[in-house]
């Protein structure tokens, strides 16, 4: 019960008026960020990160993680009212949420979405509270080869779980690693890939890349689609909320399934989006009303929202315990930890107890605050979405530029942001995934140093990654994930051959 | 965009852009590989050299881009998906060019004046709002950004002659 004591200590850290105020500010900003096109969770946190440099790290992470919760909640609003998923993981919410809004049941859909988000997050935080310290103490025994194996597993799972062309996934990822390598090599002090440009000495900053790739890229994409917002209005009053709450317990089985899917998939990088689709698909198969899914079933909103929020929350577990983020937003938060002078990883649980348990406590409080705020303020947030695009677009570009500049007070970064924006636009259209690229840019240096240290230990012998059962099984899993597209194609071919053979006999 | 003799239905095909991007990615990979090789991509006296890790990164980029290039090349004749139509591209330029002008403005005359101008002019010409509304909104955004960053958070942003005139 050590965790319970630590958690209560965490509550005492998080429950100061200052931190509670930051929590509310974070949630409200997060919902706005989640609602506006061009400002997703990762990008929003990246822009606001420089504002927190002067805060104590615990308060800063509380505010930034609340922005993240807010963005998770906000995605549901646009999906239900406008049929525009604010975030990739709320795509599945549009399937039943938007038909419900067309039916005049927007309030019910939103209450269902928010409440199940809350349930998903709560289950994930509970899991986090008890599992994270175990993972961290386990990971304390890790040496460089084990850490490199974890990095390898992280990156290979992008290939294994990604839907697109595996070569594009690897290419995008490697470009991220290459950008991370630019600048002074920390071990030898040599300049790498700078080609005499002094501006490149410090390398590419991932915050600038995130702001450009996600922010400017998204604006360019939205402009092209010529967005015309035609949304439904939402009326949420206590009566609708209570009525919906009375209906929700009926879907307990869907809820539990979605929580499990979400918690599991969230630990795997890039997990929130597949988790929401998977959970929707399974709910449709298992439900009695499965054939009515897509026409406005509350259950069809509950399933993806629960899973997405559970996954979004558990994405922080590998970030805090191993220093390996499970999503681009978690990657930005990880970058924040580094800037505040904290080394993410298992030692955090030993050396920075206040910080870790304050964060965990703020996850409980932030989600409760989030639920109350979104339920009471939906009309306001929906009104923001009705602001016409010609006003929103330049304002977001201005905000992004300020965000990029404040990272290092360097005007060159603003130019880099524009270039990254164009790259993000083209890559998005050609299905080069951006998440592995950003993760590689953030983790590149740590992955490289883990690799080099392992090589030093083994004197250049790659078999060190199979030298004991722990590192060997992680490397093995990583290789399976890497070659999963090939393996699954092989299985499909064998099955087809088997059915063909069965038919011919 | 692509060769469509100036017709209004001009568009660029996805597969063509795919080829171009694959070639660009290959070039980047080759540069990374070359520079790492120059630094030494093997085993030095005291362990792995500086180019040891990035060399293989560059190599992987090159291999992947070659595969992507070949994949696209095979589909060149059959894949008719459109990357961007002329109309869409024009829309993209409507925001991209003013944004670039804005960044030049940030560099020359500071962030606040250029933000005001950018928002006001964009609203006026792309959104067809009245001059008054455009100007007011541009000023409101700039002035609130000024208070937020310069006064409350004490983060200096690029300033130009106008701010100096006002004494900042």
For residue range A46-59, list pLDDT tens digits in order.
888 888 877 888 88
Instruction: Decide if A496 touches B, using CB distance below 8 A.
Output: no
B4, pLDDT greater than 50: no
Distance in angstroms (rounded) separating the CA atoms of residues A173 and A154: 11
Cross-strand pairs, B43:
B48
Selecting from B50, B68, B115 the residue whose C-beta is nearest the C-beta of A192 gives B50
Confidence band, pLDDT 50/70/90 cuts, at residue B8 = very low
- Mutation site, A22, A228, A390, interface B, largest B CB count within 10 A: A390
How far is B122 from chain A, CA to nearest CA, in Å? 7
What pLDDT, on a 0 to 100 scale, did the predictor assign at position A108?
87
- The token pair at A71 is 């963005």
Q: Span B58-79, mean pLDDT?
A: 93
- Which of A372-386, B25-39, B106-120 has the lowest average pLDDT? A372-386
Q: Return the C-alpha torsion angle A124, A127, A128, A134, nearest 10.
A: -160
What pLDDT, on a 0 to 100 scale, did the predictor assign at position B3?
41
Q: Find the distance separating the first CA and the last CA of chain A, reported in whole Å.
A: 62
CA distances from B168 to B44, B112, B164 (A): 54, 12, 5
A178–B43: do the CB atoms touch at under 8 Å?
A: no
Please say whether the beta carbons of B99 and B14 come within 8 A.
no
Instruction: Decide if B143 touches A, using CB distance below 8 A.
Output: no
CB atoms near residue A503 (< 10 Å):
7
- Taking contacts as CB-CB distances below 8 angstroms, the residues of chain A near B102 are 394, 397-398, 401
What is the residue whose two structure tokens read 């060190």?
A464
Confidence band, pLDDT 50/70/90 cuts, at residue B1 = very low
B35–A50: do the CB atoms touch at under 8 Å?
A: no
Mean pLDDT across chain B: 87
Distance in angstroms (rounded) separating the CA atoms of residues A353 and B91: 51
What pLDDT, on a 0 to 100 scale, did the predictor assign at position B10?
66
- Taking contacts as CB-CB distances below 8 angstroms, the residues of chain B near A452 are 47-48, 52-53
Distance in angstroms (rounded) separating the CA atoms of residues A65 and A362: 8
CB atoms near residue A108 (< 10 Å):
24
- The token pair at A76 is 């549901």
- Helix, strand, or coil here: A192? strand
What pLDDT, on a 0 to 100 scale, did the predictor assign at position A320?
86
ipTM of the complex: 0.90
What pLDDT, on a 0 to 100 scale, did the predictor assign at position A462?
86
Chain A, 203 to 262: residues with Cβ < 8 Å from chain B are 216, 219-220, 223-226
- Return all residues near A383 (Cβ < 8 A) that are at least 6 apart: none
- Taking contacts as CB-CB distances below 8 angstroms, the residues of chain A near B149 are 402, 406
Instruction: Decide if A409 touches B, using CB distance below 8 A.
Output: yes
- The token pair at A308 is 């997405």
B64–A50: do the CB atoms touch at under 8 Å?
A: no
B91, pLDDT greater than 90: no
What pLDDT, on a 0 to 100 scale, did the predictor assign at position A332?
87
The helix (run of H) or strand (run of E) holding residue B138 is helix B131-146
Chain B, 40 to 79: residues with Cβ < 8 Å from chain A are 43, 47-54, 57-58, 60-61, 64-65, 67-68, 71
CB atoms near residue A444 (< 10 Å):
26
A165–B54: do the CB atoms touch at under 8 Å?
A: no
CA distances from B64 to A225, A276, A484 (A): 30, 30, 17
- Which of A221-230, A322-331, B57-66, B115-124 has the lowest average pLDDT? A221-230
B64–A187: do the CB atoms touch at under 8 Å?
A: no
What pLDDT, on a 0 to 100 scale, did the predictor assign at position A269?
66
Q: Which residue of B has its CA nearest to A449?
A: B53
Q: State how far Cα A29 lies from the chain centre.
A: 17
Distance in angstroms (rounded) separating the CA atoms of residues B88 and A12: 54
Chain A, 270 to 309: residues with Cβ < 8 Å from chain B are none
How far is B160 from chain A, CA to nearest CA, in Å? 13
Instruction: Decide if A150 touches B, using CB distance below 8 A.
Output: no
The helix (run of H) or strand (run of E) holding residue A184 is strand A183-184
B117, pLDDT greater than 90: yes
Cross-strand pairs, A183:
A192
Instruction: Decide if B92 touches A, using CB distance below 8 A.
Output: yes
- Helix, strand, or coil here: A65? helix
What pLDDT, on a 0 to 100 scale, did the predictor assign at position A200?
81
Helices (H) and strands (E) in chain B, counts: 6, 4
For residue range A116-127, list pLDDT tens digits in order.
999 999 999 999
- The token pair at A248 is 């929700």
Selecting from B17, B100, B153 the residue whose C-beta is nearest the C-beta of A51 gives B153
Distance in angstroms (rounded) separating the CA atoms of residues A468 and A72: 40
Distance in angstroms (rounded) separating the CA atoms of residues A28 and A262: 24
**In degrees rounded to 5, what are phi and psi of residue A462?**
-70, -15
Distance in angstroms (rounded) separating the CA atoms of residues A152 and A50: 30
Of residues A197, A325, A215, the one with CA closest to residue A269: A325
A429–B126: do the CB atoms touch at under 8 Å?
A: no
- The token pair at B86 is 């002329």
Residues in chain A, pLDDT under 50: none
Selecting from B43, B54, B122 the residue whose C-beta is nearest the C-beta of A181 gives B54
**In degrees rounded to 5, what are phi and psi of residue B47?**
130, -165
Distance in angstroms (rounded) separating the CA atoms of residues B17 and A407: 32
What pLDDT, on a 0 to 100 scale, did the predictor assign at position B6?
40
Instruction: Decide if B147 touches A, using CB distance below 8 A.
Output: no
Please say whether the beta carbons of A438 and A42 come within 8 A.
yes
A456–B47: do the CB atoms touch at under 8 Å?
A: yes
What is the sign of the dihedral through the CA atoms of A223, A226, A232 and A233? positive
């Amino acid at each position: 019960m050590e965790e319970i004591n630590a958690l209560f200590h965490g509550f005492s850290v998080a429950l100061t008026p200052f931190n509670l105020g930051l929590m509310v500010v974070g949630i409200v900003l997060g919902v706005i960020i989640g609602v506006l096109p061009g400002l997703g969770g990762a990008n929003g946190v990246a822009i606001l990160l420089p504002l927190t440099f002067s805060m104590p790290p615990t308060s800063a992470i509380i505010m930034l993680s609340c922005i993240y919760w807010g963005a998770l909640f906000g995605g549901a609003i646009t999906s239900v009212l406008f049929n525009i998923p604010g975030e990739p993981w709320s795509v599945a919410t549009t399937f039943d949420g938007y038909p419900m809004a067309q039916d005049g049941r927007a309030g019910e859909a939103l209450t269902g979405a928010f409440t199940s988000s809350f349930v998903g997050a709560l289950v994930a935080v509970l899991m986090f509270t008890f599992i994270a310290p175990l993972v961290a103490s386990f990971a304390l025994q890790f040496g460089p080869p084990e850490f490199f194996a974890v990095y390898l597993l992280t990156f290979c799972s992008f290939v294994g779980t990604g839907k697109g062309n595996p070569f594009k996934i690897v290419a995008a990822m490697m470009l991220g690693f290459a950008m991370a390598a630019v600048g002074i090599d920390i071990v030898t002090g040599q300049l790498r890939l700078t080609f005499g440009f002094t501006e490149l000495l410090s390398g590419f900053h991932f915050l600038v890349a995130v702001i450009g790739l996600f922010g400017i890229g998204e604006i360019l994409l939205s402009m092209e689609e010529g967005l015309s917002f035609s949304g439904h209005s939402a009326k949420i009053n206590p009566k609708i909320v209570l009525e919906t709450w009375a209906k929700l317990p009926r879907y307990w089985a869907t809820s539990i399934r979605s929580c499990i899917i979400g918690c599991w998939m969230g630990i795997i990088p890039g997990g929130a989006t597949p988790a929401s689709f998977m959970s929707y698909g399974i709910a449709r198969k298992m439900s009695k009303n499965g054939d009515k899914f897509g026409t406005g079933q509350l259950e069809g909103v509950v399933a993806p929202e629960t899973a997405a929020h559970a996954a979004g929350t558990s994405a922080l577990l590998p970030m805090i315990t191993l220093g390996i983020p499970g999503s681009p937003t978690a990657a930005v938060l990880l970058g924040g930890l580094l800037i505040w002078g904290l080394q993410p990883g298992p030692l955090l649980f030993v050396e920075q107890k206040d910080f870790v348990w304050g964060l965990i406590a703020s996850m409980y409080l932030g989600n409760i605050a989030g639920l109350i705020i979104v339920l009471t303020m939906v009309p306001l947030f929906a009104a923001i979405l009705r602001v016409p695009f010609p006003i929103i677009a330049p304002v977001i570009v201005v905000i992004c530029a300020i965000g990029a500049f404040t990272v290092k007070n360097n005007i060159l970064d603003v130019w880099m942001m524009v270039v990254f924006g164009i790259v993000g636009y083209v890559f998005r259209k050609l299905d080069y995934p951006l998440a592995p690229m950003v993760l590689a840019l953030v983790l590149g240096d740590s992955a490289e140093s883990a690799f080099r240290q392992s090589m030093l230990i083994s004197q250049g012998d790659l078999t060190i990654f199979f030298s004991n059962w722990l590192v060997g099984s992680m490397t093995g899993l990583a290789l399976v994930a890497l070659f999963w597209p090939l393996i699954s194609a092989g299985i499909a071919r064998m099955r087809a051959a088997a059915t063909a053979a069965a038919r011919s006999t | 965009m692509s060769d469509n003799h100036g017709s209004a239905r001009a568009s660029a095909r996805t597969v063509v852009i795919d080829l171009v991007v694959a070639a660009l990615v290959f070039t980047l990979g080759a540069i990374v590989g070359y520079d790492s090789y120059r630094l030494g991509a093997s085993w030095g006296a005291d362990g792995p050299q500086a180019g040891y890790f990035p060399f293989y990164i560059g190599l992987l980029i090159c291999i992947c881009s070659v595969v992507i290039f070949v994949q696209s090349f095979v589909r060149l004749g059959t894949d008719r998906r459109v990357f961007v139509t002329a109309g869409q591209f024009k829309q993209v330029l409507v925001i991209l060019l003013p944004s670039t002008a804005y960044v030049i403005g940030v560099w020359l005359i500071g962030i606040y004046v250029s933000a005001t101008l950018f928002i006001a002019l964009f609203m006026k010409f792309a959104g067809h709002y009245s001059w008054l509304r455009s100007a007011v909104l541009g000023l409101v955004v700039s002035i609130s950004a000024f208070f937020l960053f310069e006064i409350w958070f004490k983060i200096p942003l690029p300033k130009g002659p106008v701010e100096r005139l006002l004494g900042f």
